[in-house]
Amino acid sequence: MSKEVEDKYREVLDKLGPVFGDGMELMDVLFLVGIRESGKAPTKMSKQEKEDAMHLGTCTILEQYGYYKSLGEDEEGWPQFEHLKDLPPMNEQEQEALLKKGVADYFEKV
């Protein structure tokens, strides 16, 4: 991951830290993006709902790069996405770098 992307991602964590606590991991940030995009107030959530929120965050982040397309909301008000294309072959570190870049880009826009 480039130093510029790492610096931008670190800036996001620095902004979120005072509100949500230091030591946030990428999955925590994806969860927060998912909650934000769902438009639902965080409440006591089941494990499945937490996983759904992380998935929503991931789809939102990857939508910026053409991997998903927003389809609106389902009957329960959760945003739905269409999978447009697969990620190219990447190792875990490359996937993490792509998501961190996406998080940095997302937070520049909101």
Mean pLDDT, residues 1-23 taken together? 92
The DSSP line for 42-73 is: P----HHHHHHHHHHHHHHHHHTTTSEEEEEE
Report domain extents, the chain: 3-109
How large a percentage of the chain has pLDDT more than 70? 100
Residue (of 12, 7, 42) closest to 109 by Cα position:
12
pLDDT of residue 7: 95
Residue range 46-92, pLDDT digits in tens:
899 899 999 999 999 999 999 999 999 999 888 999 999 999 999 99
Query: What are the beta bridge partners of residue 70?
Result: 81
CA-CA-CA-CA torsion for 26, 73, 78, 57, nearest 10 degrees? Answer: 0
Mean pLDDT, residues 21-27 taken together? 93
Mean pLDDT, residues 10-39 taken together? 94
User: How many Cβ atoms are within 10 Å of 20's Cβ, its own excluded?
Assistant: 14
Which stretch of DSSP H or E encloses residue 83?
strand 79-83
> Which three-class secondary structure state does DSSP give residue 79?
strand
Mean pLDDT, residues 31-36 taken together? 95
pLDDT of residue 67: 98
